[in-house]
A and B are shown apart, each in its own frame.
Chain A
Amino acid sequence: MSPTILITIISLSLLAFLSAVILYFIAQKFKVYEDPRIDEVQALLPAANCGGCGFAGCRNFAEAIVKSDSFEGLNCPVGGAAVMGNIAGLLGRTAPVSDPKVAVLKCNGSTEYRARTSVYNGVADCRIVHNLYIGETDCSYGCLGYGDCERACAFDALHINPVSLLPEISDEKCTSCGSCVKACPRNLIELRKKAKKDRKIYVACSNCDKGGPARRACKVACIGCSKCVKVCAFDAITLENNLAYIDATKCTFCRKCVPECPTNAIIEVNFPPRKPKAEAEVEAVKT
């Protein structure tokens, strides 16, 4: 072996050893203690980094939850009760009960019901259209259909229907992270309490105009007639700014308001088909 190689090996080994010693002492000196539970909690989280909890990502949420003494204000909507229960078990706490939610679109102004009155040929971005003008229809509150919500959804739960030009939300895939709620410049998406069999009754409209203009702009607009408010026996429906709202926590799914609405602005989802009145009576007689 030539002396050059030998010198190289020895000098490099010495250098490596010296560096290791220095690094060891530096590591000791600047050691940062990190709660090992943060890693464990993070492993339990869905790792979607969607921001639905209000933190920048799952790691930040895990840090916050380990640091905090209670679960107050901390919830992973994506993981839901199962994940929160697991975390609670790990940390030796009890998880609060939180209702699972699902996103609904408070606009039903599809191309069929809401006439297009102008053509927009600029950038396909709802924020820009909303900032620029009323939109392609005469409704200044309704869905613009350029898919900001679709792009915001990290779970493939939301797609713009090419025919109706409205987003369609998949109840199975929606994790209620709220990204679409934040993305919509017209605040049309609401996270509502999930009911059994994914049943939903809600006012699919956000138009605050008076009845006349609202109706002229869209056939299925809420005209603020307050018929639904009167028919509701549970005080679940309120009318504000010419717009009805159904409180999901009070609604008992009796469905009485749905046929009452003259413009079909209240919609029911995932219910069995209604029996025609005559048949229902016959059935009642039989039993």
Chain B
Amino acid sequence: MLKTFPTGGVHPPENKLTAGIPIEYLPVPGNVVIPLSQHIGAPANPVVAKGDMVKTGQLIAEGKGFVSANVHSSVSGKVSKIDTAADSSGLKQTAVFIDVEGDEWLDTIDRNTNIVRDIMLSAEDIIKKCFESGIVGMGGATFPSHIKLNVPSGKKCDVLIINGVECEPYLTSDHRLMLEKGEEILVGTSILMKALKVEKAMIGIENNKPDAIARMTSLASSFTGITVHPLKVKYPQGAEKQLIKALINREVPSGRLPVDVGAVVHNTGTAFAVYEAVQKNKPLIERVVTVTGKSVSKPGNYMIRIGTPLSRVLEAVGGIPDDTGKIINGGPMMGKAVSNTDAPVVKGMSGIILVPAAEAVRKEINPCIRCARCVSVCPIHLEPYLLMTLSERSMFERAEKERITDCMECGSCSFTCPAGRPLLDYIRLGKSTVIRMARQKVLK
């Protein structure tokens, strides 16, 4: 019997079309737009000006404040302007625009592909390096990684969990990374273990990736303390708290962090980025993005420089198919529709899915039939039907009491609802309103 989390969850059709396609490097684009806020927290402060020449890997914006991350140039060339640019939702953010000239990397970056296993840096230096290199959670949440590595005093972390679950349908970027860069990920894991001062690391991989499980298991035998654990396929197992429950059977209480139960979770993509930052001195300037869809002519897993316009990426996969109804940034369950194809690829973009128009239509909204299926699939014991009604009627104080902020927006409720209720739409609204209200209260 394979491990999984006990409550709720769904099993959407997997559609992992690109699982067998090796990672391909996308050519450097002619120009890039690098947003200064690609992470959760305060936007970074630009340290370059219009007209400056930058090299690949050079720091262009410095993280300020406690929760923030550095941003580096992913190309070499000239800064054409620092201005607002629309992200994939059309909302404007400050970004650095660079016109590409050649591809000249900083001399300090080791571009050799040989694997360096010896970890030279101390725990403190590793954390510092992660901050300097702009490492953020690569699973999509983009929380600055160095903060997660600093275990607060008084708390003790005894296990590191590496998230290779990739429970979202369609996405295969972590899967391919484990197959092709497995050893790097394991060295990255050892680095993270050293930073956290833990002896044990567990890699959780869902059972629909047997090749990745086999590969990681055989590689892990030469690393001390790292074990690989196959997990039953169930969405949303890739969520931090669900993965902790599945692997070590500890429950993170509401409003608390994984470190409160002695665990820290990092994504495989993050482990790889940490390896590159610490061993190769390479900041986070590119990432694997799964570009897929049933009608896409060249779907695949592409290593893309941060800041590459989406339109360039879509061109590279053979253009937007005629039957496309929706382009999704992220997985089909949690991702958001893209309204602006000029938006750049950012650190948290794990996939781009081109959904045919026939599949992109929303279900007709019907009255609630009180079947309570949303309640049974909610992995965190919430009552989605109630939260939806409360948000719809602007009863936000009550929604807060019903723990709307615990919702991780996995969308299992909306996916399951036989009446097509827009549960998550309203819960998202309520959650963001409650968070905003709480912030205003703090400011007062």
Q: Which residues of A contact B (CB under 8 A)?
A: 117-118, 121-123, 125, 127-128, 131-135, 138, 140, 209, 213
Contacts and interface: CB of A to CB of B under 8 A. Distances in A.
B429 interface: yes
Size bracket of the B interface: 20 to 34
22 contacts: A117-B90, A118-B90, A122-B362, A122-B422, A122-B425, A123-B422, A123-B426, A128-B429, A131-B429, A131-B432, A131-B433, A132-B89, A132-B428, A133-B89, A133-B90, A133-B336, A134-B86, A134-B89, A138-B86, A140-B90, A140-B91, A209-B92
Contacts of A121: 360-362
Interface of B: 84, 86, 89-92, 336-337, 339-340, 360-362, 365, 392, 422, 425-426, 428-429, 432-433
Contact of A138 (B84, B90, B337): B90
Nearest to A209: B92
A132 B336 contact: yes
A127 B90 contact: no
Given A123-B422, A125-B392, A133-B337, 16 more contacts: A117-B340, A118-B337, A121-B362, A122-B422, A131-B428, A131-B432, A131-B433, A133-B89, A133-B91, A133-B336, A133-B339, A134-B89, A134-B340, A138-B90, A209-B92, A213-B84
Contacts of B336: 132-133
A174 B295 CA distance: 52
A178 to B, nearest CB: 15
Question: Which has the most chain A C-beta neighbours within 10 Å: B339, B340, B362?
Answer: B339
A132 B84 CA distance: 19
Nearest to A137: B90
B47 to A, nearest CB: 24
A213 B342 CA distance: 15
Contact of B90 (A125, A128, A135): A135
Contact of B429 (A117, A127, A209): A127
A197 to B, nearest CB: 37
Contacts of A140: 90-92
A134 B91 CA distance: 6
A217 B292 CA distance: 30
Contacts of B360: 121
Question: Which has the most chain B C-beta neighbours within 10 Å: A134, A135, A138, A209?
Answer: A134
A121 B359 CA distance: 13
A128 B425 contact: yes
A123 B421 CA distance: 9
A128 B432 CA distance: 10
A69 B90 CA distance: 52
A123 B428 contact: no
Contacts of A125: 392, 425-426, 429
A131 B360 CA distance: 20
B339 A128 contact: no
Given A118-B90, A121-B361, A134 B339 contact: yes
A260 B252 CA distance: 62
A122 B337 CA distance: 11
B426 A117 contact: no
Nearest to A121: B362
B434 to A, nearest CB: 12
Contacts of B429: 125, 127-128, 131
A138 B343 CA distance: 13
A123 B432 CA distance: 17
Contacts of B432: 131
A123 B363 CA distance: 11
Contacts of A132: 89, 336, 425, 428
Contacts of B362: 121-122
Nearest to A135: B90
B424 to A, nearest CB: 10
